[in-house]
Chains A and B, each alone.
Chain A
Amino acid sequence: MLGIKNIASYLPQNKISNYDKKDQFELNDDFIENKIGVKAHALKEKDEKASDLCVKAFENLLQKENIDISLIDCCVVVTQNPDFNIPHTSAIVHGKLGFSQECASFDISLGCSGYVYGLSNIISFMKNNGLKKGLLFTADPYSEIVDSEDKNTALLFGDGATVTYITEEGIYIPKAFSFGTSGKDYKELICGDKLYMNGRAVFNFTATTIPKHIQNLLEKNGLEDSSIDKYILHQGSKYIVDTIRKRLKVDVQKVPFDMYDYGNTVSSSIPIILEKEMKIDTNRRFVISGFGVGLSWASAILEKN
């Protein structure tokens, strides 16, 4: 059955420490560690583009999976910081990795909800078109758009990329998806020349919308908290992850928090954690949930095959 066979990620070795910004932004250690939850954020090389990060994630996938590149028939990239406005980054990734001319390639322009949307898209597209081996990339290098003087964003975002290998031998299968949009609020998280985020508006949205959205998804599918092994939430900040967890009334052990050493990687945050959690045998059912730019949100239930 089509599903997630494997995941690999790439996080740049170069890091910027938030402890070095304590004077600039009047921070203390408690705020860095327990509120923002980012001690250091990953930073790509200046001349690296989204496609380069995707290629590095794919090289890491090759360390774990024996993949015949000539058989890849679908290549999807989730990004809002593409290499160029034209063409689509997935075509560039396709070219750099040498996929066949029969391989379908397209981008999905979404931010923090992008992985869940991407998973639904690639699986539906592959099913409808009889495709067998797909790759879902996420790469949104926010270092290109963050204003280093803006406290609301300069402490949060990190660069990174992931690739999810979709085959008929899927180990985790999506069982249900749910999506949402609040387009009237699009200005609350927006990039003209530089990224702007209304922190209060984004916090209020996540705290009020996402717990209800996840509860509705569970109810619609006849599931309760006791049926879920882990909730893999987009790592917006520690404060946001903690707030959603408390409002869901879920045990802290069931909600991994992982961004301390690399930051908010936008659409990559969920697959970075999923890659680690997939290795734990007892994890049979996940809720994954992404939310942010748009404002947009999406959640899914994944079950072990």
Chain B
Amino acid sequence: MNDGAKIRNLVGWLAILSIVPIIGAFIAAVAALDFDFDALQDTTYTLATLGDRTTLFWWGWLLTAISFSMWVPLVMYLCR
């Protein structure tokens, strides 16, 4: 396998696997708020509800950022 094919395969797998952290992020962020979807939008309610689950909530946002980051090679590969 040449370098071009290796890079293409890596980018392909990154694109597919990028859905894993976004699913994890969604579960973490919503689980931290007792699966109350509306609470995600209610900033007043969020801090009062989180309590000792702030770390879990933080992981939710961090995983979203990781998922976004995994798209960078895809964007650069398709635009090259």
A and B form one complex: no
- The chain A residues found within 8 Å of chain B, CB to CB, are none
